[in-house]
Amino acid sequence: MEIKSSVENGRVPVTVVTVWGNVDTNSFEPLMSFVQKLIDGGARHFLLDLEKVPYMGSAGLRVMNSMFNQLRALSSDMSEDDVLNAVNEGTYKSPYLKLLNMSTQSRVAFETAGFDMFLETHIDLKAAIESF
């Protein structure tokens, strides 16, 4: 797996993390470590570009869930209960983590796990950056 990041300037600085290769039990740790360093360094708005990720297993979903929880905890706009209620009502999408260019197979896992209830997906980089 290869991972790189860049920062795009929109209304806020958006850290774009581009991943090449499968994200599964054999490869999720480098991605989690990479992202953790960015969060520890102060990055707060992430766009995961998954165009070159043909397969994402449950370990990849755990990385996204961990990112979502960490980024949400670092902001104090809503309590955890308020976020959970809004997710259940379908009125909440993370303002801190969004996804770009998911493969069909990765999208199936993403939607089956219910992540589409709280994470936005995009197919256009510019539109994704502007959505933050």
| Contact indicator for 115, 67 with CB cutoff of 8 Å | no
HSE at residue 76, side-chain half, CA atoms within 13 A, is 0
Round to whole Å and give the CA distance between 98 and 45.
8
Residue 122 maps to which CATH number? 3.30.750.24
Query: What DSSP line would sit under the chain, residue for residue?
Result: -EEEEEEEESSSEEEEEEEES-BSTTTHHHHHHHHHHHHHTT---EEEEEEE---B-HHHHHHHHHHHHHHHHT--SS-HHHHHHHHHHT----SSEEEE---HHHHHHHHHTTGGGT-EEES-HHHHHHT-
pLDDT tops 80 at residue 25: yes
- Structural domain including 65 reads 2-130
Q: What is the pTM of this model?
A: 0.91
Split into its structural domains, the chain has a count of 1
Q: Which tokens is 88 given?
A: 């259940």
Q: Which tokens is 114 given?
A: 């219910």
Could you read off the pLDDT of 66-106 as tens digits, one per residue?
999 999 999 867 888 998 898 889 889 999 999 999 998 88
**Which residue type occupies 18?**
T
- Mean pLDDT across the stretch 12-34? 96
